[in-house]
Amino acid sequence: MNLTAVWKPWFVYRPHQLARRLASSISAPPSGHRLVPVSWGVELWADPTEHVGRSLWTTGVFDLAVSEVLFRLIRPADFVIDVGANLGYMTLLGAVASGPDGCVLAFEPNPHVAAWLKRNVEHARRQYEIAAVELHDGALGAEAGSATLVLPDPASANDGLAHIAAEHNASTVERMVQVAVAKLDDVIGGQRAGMMKIDVEGHEAQVLEGAARSLHAHRIRHVVFEDHEGTGSRAMALLRAAGYEIFSIGWSMRGPVLAPAADGSLASHFEAPSYLATTEVRAALEACTRTGWMVLQRQARVAAEAVEA
């Protein structure tokens, strides 16, 4: 294992994680779901041979820069929305960051993954002091109705690749399931949210269209989203039209980095390009320029009931 491979924040700030990284370089990680400890303090049922589980197993964290930005920008008692929750890593991060007085709304339409999401949330509720979490097993889109969810090839070892099929090719998909679709505006009404995270494999614009009223009224303070198209994407156009300023999310050894989205993606070659859209530019920049890593230190507080047990 060369120096470049270990000169990463998740090893420098958490050197004990190197032992697991070394073991994984010698032999394959174990298969099957098991409780995996996360750097900021919770445990998640995850499969170390799958994309998210492998990252947690070897580094203790998933999508470092996005995780850090979320932790820094979510305030105590915030209402947080997680669109494309997968097995619940970001959902629980939001629940820990917003705390017992907060609330997290999580959407995951893939039935297989949603079952593990539910199990992880139930486990966390018993173990940690977290926000209330409301789970939805459907998708979000521009209009309420139904859609075809394309399930990933098992060989990809990445459950997060499930995506909504375009109408013109939905009939040609072999591995699929019909899912309910809702508009976010209809789900949350006039509620205000501190953070919305979106990771929906190319369906970002449709999710934002369904949240148009909330966005134009600036009832959602920050939006963190994955976008492979970059600065000219439809998703970014919708957010700019609603008055949001957009930054690319990256990282250095010292902490997270934000730069204007127009300058291009800051993502490393092994990461998806992610962005922050915000109505509170100064506060976001101030929060994200401090050095250090919150997500590489324990943040979750153990519940009193768990201690007594």
All structural domains of the chain with their residue ranges? 3-298
pTM above 0.85, yes or no: yes
Q: Considering the domain 3-298 in this protein, what is its CATH number?
A: 3.40.50.150
Q: Half-sphere exposure of 263 toward its Cβ, with a 13 Å CA cutoff?
A: 11
pLDDT at 27: 78
Residue 22 Cα distances to 38, 63, 150, 192, 206, angstroms = 18, 20, 35, 45, 42
pLDDT at 150: 92
Q: Half-sphere exposure of 302 toward its Cβ, with a 13 Å CA cutoff?
A: 7
pLDDT in tens, 111-134: 999 999 999 999 999 999 999 999
Residue 302 has pLDDT above 60, yes or no: yes
Token reading at 130: 């977290």
Token reading at 210: 């369904």
Averaged pLDDT for residues 274-291: 97
Beta-bridge partners for 251: 256
Residue 39 has pLDDT above 90, yes or no: yes
Residue 283 has pLDDT above 70, yes or no: yes
CB within 8 Å of 231: residues ≥ 6 apart: 246, 261, 262, 264
Token reading at 191: 């509620």
Question: What percent of the chain clears pLDDT 90, i.e. is strictly above it?
Answer: 79
Averaged pLDDT for residues 172-193: 90
Q: Half-sphere exposure of 74 toward its Cβ, with a 13 Å CA cutoff?
A: 33
Averaged pLDDT for residues 141-167: 86
- Report residue 3's pLDDT band, with 50, 70 and 90 as the boundaries: low
Gap between the Cα atoms of 303 and 58, Å rounded? 27
Residue 2 has pLDDT above 60, yes or no: no
Residue 168 has pLDDT above 50, yes or no: no
- Report residue 173's pLDDT band, with 50, 70 and 90 as the boundaries: low
